[in-house]
Each structure stands twice: as C-alpha cells, then as structure tokens.
Amino acid sequence: MKSKKSLSIICAIAVTLSTLVGCSSNTAGSSSGTVVVTLIQNKVEIQSQLEAAAKTFNESQTGVKVQVLGSTGDNLVTTLQSQFASAPAKAPTVFTCQSGSEFDKFFKYMAPMDSAKASKNIAKGQKDDAMKNGKLYGLPLAIEGIGLIYNKAIFKAAGVDPTSIKTMDDLDAACAKVAKVKGIVHPLAFSKETYFQFMHPFNWPFAVMSNYKEVIPKVISGQLKLKDVPEVKQFANDLTKLKPYTNLALDSYDDQVAGFAQGKYAMIHQGNWAQSIIDQYKVKFDYGMIPMPVNGNTSLAVGNTNFFHVNSAATKEQQAGGIKFLDWLLTSPAGQKIVTNEFKVIPAYNGFDTSKLPVLAQEVSKYSKSGKTVPWTFNLFPAGVDKDCTSAMQEFYAGKIKTDQLLDQIQEVWKNAAQK
C-alpha cells in the first residue's frame, strides 16, 4: 500500500542517516598519539576568538589538539553539572566557572595547576580565589575593574573635575551639577541584572574594609547584624541620598549602556567589559572610569571571577595537554598577543604588553599597576543570594522599604541561603 511503502522507505533512510551521523561524531579518544583536549567556557564575547586561537595552537604543534565547545551564559553550569554527574571522565578537559560557590561546587573535579608556567606570573592578589589548602586550582584569564564610567564631555560642561570626587557627598554634589546639563535624564545609572544591581554595588562597603573576610561570615551566621556594620550602614544611607539622581536600576544592561552612549546618563556603574558594547555605538565623546568614593575610597574594585580549571577526572595526558594550551595562551608571545589584541581583555598576569588595550581597560590597568585596587568580596556571599537580594534592592529603589529594612532583608536572605 502506498503509505506503508513510503513509511518503510522513510524508516530505512532514517536508520541509515542516524547511524552515519552517529559514527562521524566520535572524536574523543586519540588517533595515533594526538591527545584531544576539550574546552568549554561561556564568555560569548571571546568565543570565536578562542576558537581561532585553538586553531592556531593546533597548527603550531602536533601533540595536542584542542577542541573548543560552546555554551550560553546560564546554561554552562547546568551543562557542567549534568556531565560531571553522569560521566566525569568525559566532561570537558578545561572548563571555566565562577569563583565562590561554583568553585566549591565543582572543586572535587579540579586538578592542581601549580605546574603551569603561567601560574608563576599571576598578578598580585588575583589567584586567591582559586587557592585551596595552599595549592592553585585555576588560572585566571583577565582582570576586570568596576567603577563609575563617566562621560568626560558632560563633566566638563557641568564644571565637574573628576579628581575632586573623593567622598560620597562629593558625588552627590557632582550629580546635582551634572543634572543641569542638557540631555541628561539621570546623572547616574545602575542596571537591573542581579550582579549589577546588588552584587557589584554592595561590594564597595566590604571591599574598603580590611577585615571583610571575618565580617562576612559573621553576618551570614547572624552573629553580627548587617545594619550594625558601620561601612554597610553608611553605604545604604549614601545610596538613599544618591537615589534621586539615579535611574533606580530600572534599565537592562543593554539599555543602561545605550543611555550612556546617547548622553542620557553621565555616569554608569559598570565594569570595563562594557567597552565592547560602547564601541558598537561609535560614541564621539571621551570617557574614563573613576572609583566609587565609598568611605573616601580612591581605588577601583578589581578582581576576576572566571578561572580556567582542569578536569581531574580526565586522563593524565589530557590534563597535561590542557595546561600546555593554557600556558601557550598566557605565556607565549603569540598567545599573549591574542589575549590583548583579539580578546581585548586585561591579562591577570605580569609581563604582558598592555599598550594596545582599549580605553577602559587602560584605565583599569593604570589603577592596577599603581596598586590602587580593592578586591571583589562578593565571592564570599552565600550561593544563590543574588536574585533575592536584588528583589530587596528593587523594593528599596521603589521606596517601599528603608535602609534598615533593606539590610535586614539582605541578611535574612544570606542566612537562609547558608542553611544546608
């Protein structure tokens, strides 16, 4: 019968096709001694450049073949989770994950990396988050800096000298002047994503403390009330005063940067990664980065959350191959050039030529080289608090809760999150 015949033809084709494709997909396992190393990461901005780098590396030698896999931002953790849960040996050889709770989560699959050449050149303070029990378990790629990206032309028109902003009150005064400039909708803009709305701003009060490593655990356990920590209380009060000059964190990251590029916002609280987006607007004004003057602070918050780790369940040859690639990328002249010129990131290492880096990266580099940096402390915040704390921030900005309530809510979220 007609339909039965065509059905059987379809089935025949189906089976043939699937076996064909099923065969061609197998690349794991070596052919004649070449070790295949897989690498996965989720910074979409450097994905294609990384693939090109791998190609160059593969062509430059014959022992190791690097295959770059891909993933979207939030899907990476899910993917890694499921692969490590089912067959760790087949999970990617080199993978990235965030410091803090993700690091702890995947720690049992990380191999020590002290043998890497690159580990000797890591810039000051940048390897702490990947150290455990005295050994190094990850290699950073880039450092990033957070601060206030500001429009130099608007500052000039408002008569504000960026170097004069040394306290939060100075910032308020500057905002008042800037607000009068034509075209300004808000002097200062935050963006609404969880990390940008809560984690990064709330980093400042802790980052300027010398003993944040003791304070944060005490807050989490409830020993210390968040609203009794003077730096934090002060910051929350400062934010309340600053609020009227801001966009109340109502914009998405895209819109926040768009607003900056169009001259609607004079300052945005962001990191140097915004560079690639600003570039797409081909802005005509000069811009730079200044610190958030919390407690008289004059440093940018510099840190790094993305480390490359090596899968300890992979074969010894694969692990060595992964380290070989990373060393090539981070210590060889060819690799280093790719990092600065193609990835356009600020290397977390000494010995790089950073002169070709774009504007914001240069600013961060400047502060970093002169030691004017404060750390990223939010890696010590408990896992998964970003979402609920951001909800509290939203209520705060909407005027529904005041500083004490805000701090109490944040602490409540931290306490709940830390309970097993």
* Residues of this chain, 163-192, that bind other proteins according to CB under 8 A: 192
Residue corresponding to tokens 């910074």 = 43
Query: Measured from the CB atom, is 40 or 207 closer to other proteins?
Result: 40
C-beta of residue 304 within 8 angstroms of C-beta of residue 372: no
| Contacts to other proteins from residues 106-165, by CB under 8 A | 108
The one among 31, 86, 133, 210 contacting other proteins by CB under 8 A: 86
Query: Measured from the CB atom, is 17 or 131 closer to other proteins?
Result: 17
C-beta of residue 206 within 8 angstroms of C-beta of residue 216: yes
CB of 83 to other proteins, least distance (A): 8
The encoded tokens of residue 131 equal 């150290």
Query: Measured from the CB atom, is 257 or 323 closer to other proteins?
Result: 257
| Contacts to other proteins from residues 371-400, by CB under 8 A | 383-384, 386-388, 390-392, 394-395
- Distance separating alpha carbons of residues 188 and 66, to the nearest angstrom: 44
362 Cβ contact partners less than 8 Å away, ≥ 6 residues apart = 354
List strand residue ranges (DSSP E) for 78-120, in order: 94-98
CB of 25 to other proteins, least distance (A): 5
| Contacts to other proteins from residues 189-228, by CB under 8 A | 192-193, 195-196
- Distance separating alpha carbons of residues 242 and 245, to the nearest angstrom: 6
| Contacts to other proteins from residues 300-359, by CB under 8 A | none
Stretch that binds other proteins, among 35-43, 204-212, 239-247, 349-357 (CB under 8 A): 35-43
Helix or strand or coil: residue 354?
A: coil
The one among 37, 39, 64, 84 contacting other proteins by CB under 8 A: 84
Query: Measured from the CB atom, is 40 or 113 closer to other proteins?
Result: 40
C-beta of residue 310 within 8 angstroms of C-beta of residue 322: yes
Query: Measured from the CB atom, is 68 or 148 closer to other proteins?
Result: 68
The one among 37, 39, 42, 57 contacting other proteins by CB under 8 A: 42
The one among 41, 53, 83, 357 contacting other proteins by CB under 8 A: 83
In sequence order, what DSSP letters do the residues of 175-198 get, joined into one string? HHHHTTSTT-SEEEE-B-SHIIII
DSSP H stretches of helix in 159-251? 168-178, 194, 200-207, 212-221, 230-242
The one among 60, 61, 78, 350 contacting other proteins by CB under 8 A: 78
The one among 157, 176, 250, 359 contacting other proteins by CB under 8 A: 250
The one among 30, 36, 58, 105 contacting other proteins by CB under 8 A: 105
| Contacts to other proteins from residues 5-24, by CB under 8 A | 7, 10-11, 14, 17-19, 21-23
C-beta of residue 58 within 8 angstroms of C-beta of residue 34: no
What values do phi and psi take at 362, rounded to 5? -65, -40
CB of 364 to other proteins, least distance (A): 18
Q: How far is CA 206 from CA 42, 126, 378, 389, in A?
A: 28, 17, 9, 16
Query: Measured from the CB atom, is 168 or 310 closer to other proteins?
Result: 310
C-beta of residue 329 within 8 angstroms of C-beta of residue 160: no
Give the distance, in angstroms, between the CA of residue 314 and the centroid of all CA atoms in the same chain.
26
At 100, the amino acid letter reads: G
Stretch that binds other proteins, among 1-9, 127-135, 345-353, 363-371 (CB under 8 A): 1-9
User: x/- site string to other proteins, residues 55 to 74, per CB under 8 A?
Assistant: ------------xxxxxxxx
